[in-house]
Amino acid sequence: MAGDNKLPGSILFVCNLNAVRSPMAEALTKSLYGKRAYIDSAGLEPRERDPFVICVMSEIDVDMAEDHPMDVEEINIGSFDLVICLTEEARARVAELTRGQAVDVEFWPTIDPFAAGEQGSREQKLEAYRLLRDDLRRLIETRFGAAEKKAG
């Protein structure tokens, strides 16, 4: 597969709460590439998973109901080959945590679907989360190569 040579051995996605963006990116990457890499996610101040995340991910047959938030401070961030920050705050904190370590760090600016759909109807909120999901998938496949669809 063309993307295999771009897939590092381990990837950590980091956002503010590990409730929306980073767990969504983790789950998408796992669903696309399986066990070809160790993939995890963490947040600066972890919160419970956002129910809209669970809903829009289930639309594409990705189950996140049993997924639990993690704190970036509890992870050996230096053990990852690549850390991908999905918010400015995560980018700043990861820069501090990885100073002097041989870790590649990337910043992928992403929308905050909670803020984007805050004033809308339930369907408008879901649409904001779907936009994030689809944008993350595009970013993941652009960076690591298109993945073959899993049978199922």
The answer, yes or no, to whether residue 131 has pLDDT greater than 70, is: yes
Share of the chain above pLDDT 90, in %: 72
Q: How confident is the model at residue 108 (pLDDT cuts 50, 70, 90)?
A: very high
Domain count within the chain: 1
The angle, 0 to 180 degrees and rounded to 10, between the axes of the packed helices 21-33 and 51-58 is 20
The parent domain of residue 34 ranges over: 8-142
For residue 150, is it within any domain? Answer: no
For residue 111, is it within any domain? Answer: yes
Q: How confident is the model at residue 91 (pLDDT cuts 50, 70, 90)?
A: very high
For residue 120, is it within any domain? Answer: yes
For residue 118, is it within any domain? Answer: yes
Share of the chain above pLDDT 70, in %: 91
Question: What single-letter amino acid sits at 35?
Answer: K
For residue 149, is it within any domain? Answer: no
For residue 39, is it within any domain? Answer: yes
For residue 148, is it within any domain? Answer: no
What CATH number is given to the structural domain containing 119?
Answer: 3.40.50.2300
The string of pLDDT tens digits covering residues 53-86 is 999 999 999 988 777 899 999 999 999 999 999 9
For residue 1, is it within any domain? Answer: no
The Cα–Cα gap between 84 and 115 comes to 21
Reduced 3-state DSSP string for the chain? CHHHHHCCCEEEEEECCCCCHHHHHHHHHHHHHCCCCEEEEEECCCCCCCHHHHHHHHCCCCCCCCCCCCEHHHCCHHHCCEEEECCHHHHHHHHHHCCCCCCEEEECCCCCHHHHCCCCCHHHHHHHHHHHHHHHHHHHHHHHCCCCCCCC
The Cα–Cα gap between 123 and 129 comes to 10
